[in-house]
Each structure stands twice: as structure tokens, then as C-alpha cells.
Structure 1
Amino acid sequence: MPHRLVSPRTASYQELDAMVHVLDGTEILIHRFDETITHWSIGCENMYGWAREEAVGEKVYELLATKFPEPAEDIRDQLKSRGFWQGEIIHRHKSGYDIHLASRFVLVNLPDGDLAVIQTNSDVSALKGAQEAVKSREAHLSSILDTVPDAMVVIDDRGTVLSFSRAAEKLFGMSSDQICGRNVSDLMPNPYRDAHDGYINHYIDTGEKRIIGYGRVVTGQRADGSQFPMELHVGEATANGERIFTGFIRDLTSRFKIEEDLRQAQKMEAIGQLTGGIAHDFNNLLTVISGNLEMIEDKLPPGTLRDILKEAQSAAQDGAILTGQLLAFGRRQPLNPKHADLGQVVGGFSDLLRRTLGEDIKLSTVIEGSDLDVLVDSSQLQNAILNIALNARDAMPKGGSLTTTISRVHLDADYAKMYPDVRSGNFVLVAMTDTGVGMNEEVRQRAIEPFFTTKGVGAGTGLGLSMVYGFVKQSGGHLQLYSEVGRGTTVRIYLPATHEAKVPEPMAAGDAGENQLPGGNETVLAVEDDARVRRVAVARLASMGYTVLEAENGHRALDLLQENSQIALLFTDIVMPGGMTGDELAQEVRLLRPDIAVLFTSGYSEPGLASKGIVPGAQWLRKPYTAKELALKIRELLDAK
């Protein structure tokens, strides 16, 4: 479509000469519509390095190697239709470097009927350089803030959130758009939420610093309402005459958990040393008492006194058993370790367990694989298994089942990082799972403390699991308890495996073997309430090529499922807080997405827990699992779809 031509102002050659003469110090040049330069000011000589004699008569766009922000033909059309054009262009200096210009073109008529363009230019190279420097610094700062693990929140003096880093989005479970413009107190639980604005006003009025300039441990609140400990550092600055506050936040959940585990281990170590020492001395006293009673018995005729003496001896023997348990917990009992196949040791002990537990309890023993050799005191191991079995019997007064599974496992570096007292390596696992009443978290935390018992007065000494714990530790192993109220308990004993050369060590991350794990590009939703376990699972899945979404509970997982239609597999823990277990979550997921694959995992190792037909096609992966086991199981599920 042709442009409507305007009638530009007519300018004589004398007027053009006078204009350039008057404005000679400015950057002004005039050229005909065919681009031939007719006038060239001293300002242009200074800017471009070309003398007037060199420039006049040359084609302006060729001489200055002009770069336009849009096609030159479009600019010519705008000049004809509007009579002017303005914008940013780039010219080339005689020495070869570029000059960024803010330029204005004005079209005039010449007396001979030809058209000319008056061009005025302002050098904005310094401004462009400053803009590029600002952009570069902004990109650099953005890269740092997106990379550092600490979250960053910027607020004004009214508490309104101005900036919310990517780490903050991940930590609080909300996007920057959701929180920016709202009060920062939305990230806090009460009573801190209601009091926060008062803290700011108090500081502004009095200058009294309570948190600015140094760190402080406070409580944060995520979008889902869950609370967590965090370390907060706040700095103050002034921007555009207004006061702003920048907070750097570090999640302390994992550190607090590790510190609590360490305190628990230190407490158990101290109690073990105390009880072991007392038991050792008390055993000496019992030896004297029992020996003297035996000598007296030989001198007494049959009768009442001899019967009384036998009761005293029986009590001394009970005391010896008690001190033996204390010595076991204190790791001071004498052990006689020998090479043994745990499959044979436990299997041969099953008949005695069956008679001990009675007919109401179904006893099952599962031996997985071979090469189950360990260096252990078999009699003490059988005693430990018996103690666990008796606890299981007491937890199932109306009957139930006790399943013992023996298998060879590898605890990798990821697993060892989560537990301060565990080392990585090959172990033989004895897992004993009952279907009893289970333990709540408080009871589970204290279950291995000596003399702690939930049984009635006179029904137990509280030393059964304490003895098992001490024996396992003295044998170089590791003990774990998994339990859920109403579903049962699993006691897991890890004993160091011998002949480790028979099982190749998993390759470290970065080795060629790691890259050979089967992977894919599907989207996986990982649901796990333990933040450390979840981080390990997400990292493993991501290294296999999967897109990973993560949730800390079932309700958050359902929200993510509705927001993301590409999720191909649900990988969920069974036992989780928040009112929804893993199998309940899987049932809800199948109602929304019948085609989704489901993989369960848990430390609770009842074999039938996730395979009762509640979620058809679901598979089961027992903790701790290796990266290879996880990779193979996921591919098995996804490839079967």
C-alpha cells in the first residue's frame, strides 16, 4: 500500500549552509535522498574522524556503515509519509569502532525539486555501555541468587515483600508472584505473624536492633501451613530514598535432625558406659553371693532352710541375667564371633521361635539370595532375635504374624549421610516385622533406652531392645526401628557382611557405570515426608534424566497432580504424617489418573503391605534402596504401561 506523501518544508541551499554554519559544533549532517552527503559539520568531523572534504560527496550509509533498528526501506517510507523519523542507530568511526547514536531525520525539499535529509545525532555510547553493564550485573546477581542455597526475601519499611528469590520459592512452597506485594508476616506462624509489623515500627521509631545485623533462629511457615526452623540474617539499606530490609534464610530442619540424632547417640553411649560399668561391678558382687550360697547349701541338711537358700540362689541367677543384659547394652559382654551364614542361623532357630510364640502368631522366614555370611556370635544373635520376637508377641495379644527376612544389602554414601553413626558398605540385613499395635514417635525414640518399657509393672525390665542395640553395635552393625501405630513394627539389624569381594561395590557418582543406569525423560512425582530422604530420591531420579516434582505429604502431591498432566509415575512413601498415608494417596491418584504408575517405598518391611490389591499394578521398594534398584523398578513400571 503506497504511503501518503507530505509536503515537506522547502529549504534553499543558502538556508542549509547557514544552518550548518550556525550549528557547526553540533553533530549535524545533510544528505540527498539518494544518500549523497552535501553538508558535514565540525561536530561530525570530531565524532566520526572524517574531515569535511573526505565526507562530502560520499554515500552516508556506506561511509558510516550504518546499522538501523529496522529495514532502511521502511525508514524511507516513514520519511515520505510523516516527514521525519527518529530512533537509535549505529555508525562506524573512521578508526573502525561503533558509535551508538540517538538520531533524528527531517525531510526537506530542495529548490531543484530533489529531497534532502537533515540528520542530527547524539552520541549515547556511554549510556548504552552503562545499560549493558547494569544488565550484566543484574544477570550476574540473578545467577548468584538463583544458585545459592540460602533463600532471600526483600521487604520495605511497611513489611511488604518486594523480592523473593528462587530458593525462597522452593523453601516456602510458593511462587514469587504469590507473595510479592503481600506482607512478609504471611511467611510466619503466630504469635510472630501478629507481632511482626510492631517489630519494624519499633526499630524505625527507636533504632533498637533486635535482629538486624546478626543471625537469629526463628520459625517459618510454608504455604501448606507446615512450620520449620530457620536461621535468619537481616540487612538494611536505602534505595531511592526509601528504607529496605534484606533477609537471608537458611533451612535448619536437616541440621536440627542431625544434631538430635547425634545427641541421641551420645546419650545412648553415655548410658551404655554407665550401665555397663555398674553391671560389671554388680556381677562381681553376685559372684560372691552365689558362691557363698553354694558353699552354705552343701553344709545344710534337707529342709526349710535349704529351700530358702535355693530361692536366694534363683534370685541371684536372675540378677546375673539382668547384669548380662546390661553388659550387652554397654557393649562389654564377652563375644565369641565366628563366620556364620545368617540364613542357616536364623532358619535353624525358627522351630524354637515357633514354640515360644504360640499358635496365635504366624511365623514366616524369608531368605533372599545367597552369600549371607557375617562374623558374629551366633548364640548372642539368637538371643537378640528371641528378645525381638518376645516383644512382637506382647504387641500382638490377639495374634498376628511375625515375618523375618534375611537379605544382603548395600548401604551407600547417601544413606550413611542421613545417620551419623552409620558407615557405608555391604551388610546382611535381618528384618523382623510384626503386625502388632506399633509405637508412636515418642515411644520409638526411647525404645532402646535401658529400663524404658511400656509394659505393666513386673511385666518387663525394659532391657530387651537395649541388649539387642548394644550387641549389634558391639558387632559393628546398625539397628533401626520403623513403626506405625495400629500397623506394626519392623526391627532391622544390619551386620557387616564378609567376603565383600563377591559383591561388586556400586560405582560412585560420575563413574561410567552410573551413567549406564536405565533412565528416561518422563515426569515423576516423588512424595516423602523426610526432607533428607526426599532430597536423595529427587537427586537420583534427576540424574537418571527424569523430570521430578516433589511433595512432602499427600495433600501437596494431589495439588501437584492436578497442576501437571505430564506426571507418569507416583513414587511415594507409605507412612507419612498429615492425615494421608501413601496407599490412601495412591487410591486418590488412581481416581484422578487411572493410567498413572505407582511405586511404593517404606522402611516398614511387611511384604504384603503394598501388595494387597488396593492399588492394582503397584510395585514395592524397601528402604534403603540403591540407585540401581530404583532405576530398574521405575523402568519396569513405565515400560509396562
Structure 2
Amino acid sequence: MNKGILDLMKELKIYRRKRSAFKVLDYLESMVQNLPESIVIFDEKGIPVFINKRARSLFGFKPNGHIGHVPEKLPHPIPVFSASIRKAIDEGESFVFPGEEFEMDKKNGRIKILDVYIKPICLGELKGAFLLAYDVTDRVEIEKKMINSHKMETVGLIAGGFAHDFNNLLSGIMGYLELAKMSKDPEKVREYIENGLEISAMAGKLVDQILTFSKTMPVKKERINIKRFYEECVDLIKQSLKRDIVIKVEVEDNSLRVYADRAQLKQVMINLMLNSIEAIGNKAGGKVILNARKLLKTGLDNHEFVVLSIRDNGIGMNEDVKDRIFEPFFSTKKRGNVKGTGLGLSIVYRIIKNHDGDIKVFSQLNRGTTIELILPASVPREEKAYQFLGELVKGTGKIMVVEDEERVRKVASKMLETLGYNVVSVENGKECIKTLNEFGDVDLILLDLIMPGMDGIATLRSLKEANKKIPVVIASGYITLDMSYLKEYDYIMGIIKKPFKLDELSYKVYKVISMYKQTKK
């Protein structure tokens, strides 16, 4: 065969191979372009050489621009990751940034929650890195709704016990007040009133517990003392206990702490304790043991962890049930005539995972179940006790009390008058603004937040618009809520929780008015 023809056939084969390879590359590029995840590929200089459609949409890349720009000049939030991209290229490191919040559109304040992964690329001499981003905003919002829905379900289960405890305390308060009213002995009257005040403080703590448990707010992690936390949980559900069931807290190391969101962790523990109580049923000698210990060998980047365990001697589970208990909507129980939602343990699992923790289950049929929660430890530090000693601090000045509840308004006014202040009291924000306009300013406003008509927030807004530079102390029974929205009002000088004691009020008011008078000099 002619050599020229052979050469031509060889070239045709090479061409076909190249064309096939290009087709494969086209297919791959088309596939990556249309993936639901955002992908940006960087060369060895850290300059983007490929941006898929989803990344252009999510990050706001220009249709034909930004290729060839350094990361620092790319749309937000890519510049945030420029150092990690550089390290991935130079040192071959991988990075994971789960659940990062970013303001993607400053004009509209659009917030997105992203899981971001940065990985090195090393193909022979070819070096680079790629950034992979998942938009998990919708998933996180759904999880929040599920958590809050389940929380309300659990609150319903413990509400009966809460009402029982609160009514008992209320009976004690009323009883001591009746005795004080009848007694003619001043010492006895003082004793009865002191006892009533002591029980009132207990009632306040009980309300705090139910509010802390049921509140809806962003995750706020703090250092939690495990022993005290367990005791709070037991107090919340003790009225849900059947008579023969005993709950024991066995924590020998009083310094053990975890770093977690108190409300969410309480939701987890209450759920697990209620499950244990239900698993025990009518069995004689039922026990639930709460324990905690340090995890000595973690194997997880040498971080310290604490294991929280809840052990019961209930009916236990077989392997099939145990393998499925964290699946959403999987349920083996009924409450009354209503089947359980099956969301409980799936939400427990999600909360623990969101705390960078882990959960383990050990169970045997007819022997019982142990559930272990592994959470990041909080290293103990010296705690300072800030305690007000109880002396009354008297002062002078004019105070306006803004409170819709007549009895609370009268008591607060009487307290302030006893401390030496002139008091004007009104029942809502509208009257507050009207009175200030008619009779002039005051030295301090004691303001309730939740009122009909013009509430506390609307009142603060009106004061700001009218340029009334009067110090405000918020008086609220619901200060466990996230109050970061109050930061825009410059003249809020303090918050006092209802019910407040005379010594607390005297100290707070005196301190604020003193500071206010100093600034006016």
C-alpha cells in the first residue's frame, strides 16, 4: 500500500481519537456546568479558569467576566477563602467550612448559608484547586422549623407538671400573705412576708426554666455545668414521672462542662428522659440514670470531649429498631390515642451533629437502653460570683413608669416613691409620648416591652424620632429572648427582669440616673 495512504490513515485515526477525547471533555464540561452545586476551579496562581453556571448565579459572577482575576477581586464571599485557596494549591491542604452565613446581596440584605469545600488539584505537574459550595439555606430553615415544632410538642408534655409546681408555689405565697394579714405580731408578719418572698423567687426561677426551654432564638453556645444542667432538666419533668420511677444524677466531677446551646441541649435531654420514662412504663423499680465523664481518647484532632449518658432499665430495643430510631418520622409509640410524630430522635441527632458532636446507642431487649451524647468540652475557668448584697440605694429624680398591667404599675410606682423618686405612671406608649410632650422630660423611663396599642418597641421608636434623649430601663418578664434588636436604641441603659425585688430596682435605677446626671453636667 502506498506510504502516503498509510500516513493519511494513521492521521485519520489520531484525529478520530482526538475528536473522541474532545467529545468526552465537552460532555464533562457540560455536566459540571449544569451541576446543582457551585464550582470554581483555580490554576496554580490562584486565578479562576472555570466557573460553572450555578456559581455564577450564586456568587454574582459577570456572564463573561472574572475569569483571570485574582481571588481578592472576585465577588463576595470568594475573597474570604483566598488564603485557604492559596494553601490548597501550595501545600495540598483541604478545607471544610460548614454552615457559613454570608450576606450575598448587600442591597437587599439577602443572607445565604453555605457549606464550602476547598480541595487541591494535582495531576502530574498540573497544580491548582477547586472550591465547591452547597447552598443549604432552605435545609437549615426547614431544620429550624422541625426543631421548634418538636419543642412545642415536648412543652405540651411537660406543661401539666409545670402547672402543678407553679400552683403549689402560688398556694404557698397566698397562704403566707393571708397569715401576714391576720397576724398582729410584727415579727411574725415579717417572717411570713420573707417566706412569701422566698417562694416568689422560686416561682420566678420555674418560669425562667420553661421560657428558656421553649424560646425560639438563634443558636447561642455557652459553657454549661453538667451537674447543674441535669438538675434543671429533672426539675422540668419531675411531675411527668410515674411514682415508681427514680431519676438519679450521678456526676462525680462537678467541674465538667460542655460548650453548647442551653435551650437546644435541654430539648435533647428532656426528649431522651421522656423516652426513657415511656420505655419503663409500669415496670416496678424503674430507674433513669444521668451520668457524665471525660472522653480520654478522642482521636478527633486532640479536642477534649465530654460524654453525657442517659441509662434506663426499660423494655429496650431490638437491632432493627435501634438502627432506625434516628430516621425522620420513624416511631414505635403512641401517646394516648395519637401516634408520635417520629421527629423526636431525628431532631436530637441533628442538634448533636450541629454541635460537632456524636451520639451512640446501646440497647438490649427487656434489659434497657443507654444513649451517649459526645459533645465538645468547655475547659473550666475561675468563675466570679456577682452578687448584690441587698442594701437599698435611695436617690432623687423624676421617673416615668410605662406599664399596661395596673397592679404591676402601682407596685413599681410605690417602690420608686419609697426610694425617694417622683413618679409619673402611664399605661402605654401613646400616653408616655403625650405626657412627655405636655409636661416635659423625666430623668428615666421604666418601660414594659409587651403592651397593647403602642408597645415598648414602638415607644422606643417614637422617642428616637422625637429626639428624646432620656435613659430607658426595660422591665420585662421575657428577657430570655434574643434582644439584639434593641441595640439601635442608644438610650437603653439597662434591663431588669420581672418580677424584680426592691433592692435590685433601687440599684439599677440609682446607677442609671447617676450616669445620666453626670453626662448632663
Largest Rg, 1 or 2:
1
TM-score relative to the length of structure 1:
0.29
TM-score relative to the length of structure 2:
0.34
Q: Which has the higher relative contact order, 1 or 2, with Cα contacts under 8 A spaced 6 or more apart?
A: 2
